[in-house]
Amino acid sequence: MSLSGTNGRVPIDEEVGFLPTLKDSTDTNENNVGQKDTYCLLTREDLMQLDSKEPFWYRLRWGLFILFWVVWVGLLLAAILIIVFTPKCPPRPVLPFWRSTTGYWVNPFAYEDSSNDKIGDLKGLAKRLDYIKGTIGAGFIVLSSIFSGQYTNDLKTLGLVDDYFNVDPALGTMEDFKNLVRSCHKNGIYLILTMDFNSVSAKHPWTEFTYLLEPYSSKKVSRLGGDARTVIQGVSYYSVFGSHFVDLNLRETGALDRIADVAKFWLNEGIDGILLDNVAFYIENGTESGAPITKELGSQWFSKYPTSQIYISESVEVVRKIRKVVDEMSESSGKPKLLAVDAGNTGYGVGKSEDISMQFLGTKDSPAAHVVVSRQFVKHRGWKAPPIDPEEIKNNIFTYDMLSVSDRNSMALTTVSTSDSRQSDLVALAATVLLPGRLSQLYQIYCFHNIIICTLYDY
C-alpha cells in the first residue's frame, strides 16, 4: 500500500468519501481530469479556518456543548430532589407468627409412635419436626388437648380431663413435653396448645368443690340429645357431653381463677399460645321454657336452641380473662403469644347472617381472642343435609364480605370436614397438594387467609 498526500495529511482510501481538502488548487484539478477527487479528514487548521469563515457553526458547537452539560446537571439535580423529597415506603410490618407462617394441626395420640404401642406420643412428634418444618413448611404446631385423662382414665371415655397440670401418660411425661418445646424452638417452630375449659371428668379433683360445677337445669338442652345431667355424690350437675363429663361453672370467680392458673402454668412451660376449644358452650343460658328430654332434641338444635342457649356474652368474658393472662406473658417474655378460640361442634353453619362466633374477638378497647375459627363456609357440620344451594354459597360470600378487613384477618376459616361427603374430593386434593407422597388422612383444613392449618392422622 503506497502512501501519498501533502502537508502531513494521511491519505484516505479513495472508496471513502470525505470533504475535499481546502488547499486543492485549480491546477491540480486540471492535471487530474477524469480522476476522482481525493478526500481527507479535516485538520485542526481546517476547522479553525472554517470557524473564521463560518462563525455560525462555531457558536452552534459551543451552544450544544453548554446545553448538554446544563441538561445533564439538571437531570442529576432532579433525580437527587426526587429521592430526597419523595415519601419513603413504610417499613415492612412485623407480623406475629400466626399471620406470617403456616400452621400444622396435630393430634399427637394419632401421630408418630415411638414406643410401638400403637399410640402416638410426644417423643414421636419430636422426631418429625424436621419433616414438619422442611417438607410441610410449617412455622407453628397446634396440638390438640394433651391433658391427663384424654386417653388414659378409669371411665374408659376419650376426651376427659383428670388433671390440667399433667400430660396424659399415653403421650409420655412432662419431661417429654419440655423436650418437645425445646426441640420446636430450636427448629424455629412455635407451639400452640389446645385447652377446653367447658367440662372436666366426673372424677377430676375439682369436683370436690361443688361451687366450681354447673348446677343441673331442666331448661338446658344437650347438644347431643338425651338427658344433660351427671350425678356426683348424689347431686345432679349439668353435662352437655354426657354422664362422664361435668360442666364447670365459669360464672364463678373461683373457677375463672383456676383456669387462669392453668393457662399461666403452660405458658410458663414455654408454649407460644393457646387454642380455647368449645368456647360457645362455656356459659349457657336455659331455654325460654322447659323442654322434654328426648332424642329428637339433636335435630331441633339448629332451629331452636343455639342462639338462645349458647354464644352468650358471658362466654366472651371468659375469653377476655385468658387474654389478660396471655398478654401478661407476652409482655414479660418480650415474645408474642397467641390466643385463638374455636366455638366447638355446635352442629350448624353460619347461614345468612354474620358469623356470631366473631364476638369472641372482643372489641378494640376490650379485646378477647386474636383469632377465631369460623364455620362461615360449612353448613350443618356432622349432619345430613340437602345438596348445597348456589344461593347459599352466594349468601356465605356476601356475609363474609360484610366483615371488616381486621375481622377477616382474625378468622380461621373451616373449609372442609370429612363428615361431609360432598367435600371428599376437596379433601383428597388438599392432601395431594400439601403432602405429596405421604400416606395420611386429612381431617380438617383451616385457613388464616394465607395460612393453612390441618389435622393429620397417620395410618
Model confidence over 424-434: pLDDT tens digits?
Answer: 434 433 433 34
With cell 350443618, the residue in question is 380
| pLDDT for position 229 | 84
Instruction: Say what the pLDDT of residue 274 is.
Output: 96
Q: Sign of torsion, CA 195 199 200 201?
A: negative
Residue 334: per-residue pLDDT: 92
The residue among 315, 367, 311 whose CA lies nearest residue 339 is 367
pLDDT of 159 reads: 87
Question: Which residues in the chain come in under a pLDDT of 50?
Answer: 1-19, 21-30, 33-34, 288-298, 349, 380-385, 416-459
Cβ-contact 151, 168 below 8 angstroms: yes
Q: What is the pLDDT of residue 389?
A: 60
CA 11, CA 21: separation in Å to the nearest integer? Answer: 11
User: Would you state the pLDDT for residue 295?
Assistant: 41
Contact of 453 with 445, CB cutoff 8 Å? yes
Quote the pLDDT of residue 307: 55
Report yes or no: 160 and 244 within 8 Å, Cβ to Cβ: yes
| Three-state DSSP string of the chain | CCCCCCCCCCCCCCCCCCCECCCCCHHHHHHCCCCCCCECCCCHHHHHHHHHHCHHHHHHHHHHHHHHHHHHHHHHHHHHHHHHHCCCCCCCCCCCHHHHCEEEEECHHHCCCCCCCCCCCHHHHHHCHHHHHHHHCEEEEEECCCEECCCCCCCCCCCCCCEEEEECCCCCCHHHHHHHHHHHHHCCCEEEEEECCCEEECCCHHHHCHHHECECCCCCCCCCCCCCEEEECCEEEECCCCCCEEEECCCCHHHHHHHHHHHHHHHHCCCCEEEECCHHHCCCCCCCCCCCCCCCHHHHHHHHCHHHHCCCHHHHHHHHHHHHHHHHHHHHHCCCCEEEEECCCCCCCCCCCCCHHHHHHECCCCECCCEEEECCCCCCCCCCCCCCCHHHHHHHHHHHHCCCHHHHCCEEEEEEECCCHHHHHHHHHHHHHHCCCCCEEEEEEEEECCEEEEEEEEC
pLDDT, residue 77, reads 95
Query: What are the boundaries of each domain within the chain?
Result: 46-85, 384-431+451-458
pTM (2 decimals)? 0.71
- Strands 147-148 and 138-143, sheet pairing: unpaired
